[in-house]
Amino acid sequence: MSTLIINLIGIILIIFIVWWFWLAKRGKAALITGNSVDVVVDGGVYEPGIINTKVGKPITLRFIRKDSSPCAEKVIFSDLDISADLPIDKPFELTFTPDKLGEFDFTCQMAMYRGKLIVEQ
């Protein structure tokens, strides 16, 4: 009986890990109308987690970090060679101009937080 329970807990843990890393919705998509978007950093997610923008157009991401854990302190766009330290409870503006098309992940340094910047024509 107890073996069954331990197996069950194991299976639930695996399902949770798969859900957390691959299946969980990373916030709503944000279609940018101006050139600035607020991104809240809290509870293990960027909100919005998906940001659409146009190639060759400057974009400002205002990161508002509410999570005080060290995990949340950096945001890294590894494919775009951009990274920044985020202060707590103080908006941090990151402005850049995406110069290539594609989907670019942005994460914290341990990739627990995950977001996506979609650069379109």
The contact set with Cu ion (CB under 5 A) reads: 71, 108, 110, 112
Query: Residue 114 to residues 8, 10, 69, 82: CA-CA distances in angstroms?
Result: 29, 25, 15, 15
> Is the Cα dihedral 103, 109, 70, 16 positive or negative?
positive
CB nearer to Cu ion: pick between 8 and 110 = 110
Nearest approach in angstroms of CB 78 to Cu ion is 14
Burial 10-24 (b: 16+ CB within 10 A, else e): eeeeeeeeeeeeeee
Nearest approach in angstroms of CB 84 to Cu ion is 14
φ/ψ region of 31 (left if φ > 0, alpha if ψ in -120 to 50, else beta) reads: beta
CB nearer to Cu ion: pick between 32 and 112 = 112
CB nearer to Cu ion: pick between 9 and 111 = 111
CB nearer to Cu ion: pick between 69 and 97 = 69
- Residue 72: CB atoms within 10 Å: 23
Nearest approach in angstroms of CB 76 to Cu ion is 10
Nearest approach in angstroms of CB 5 to Cu ion is 32
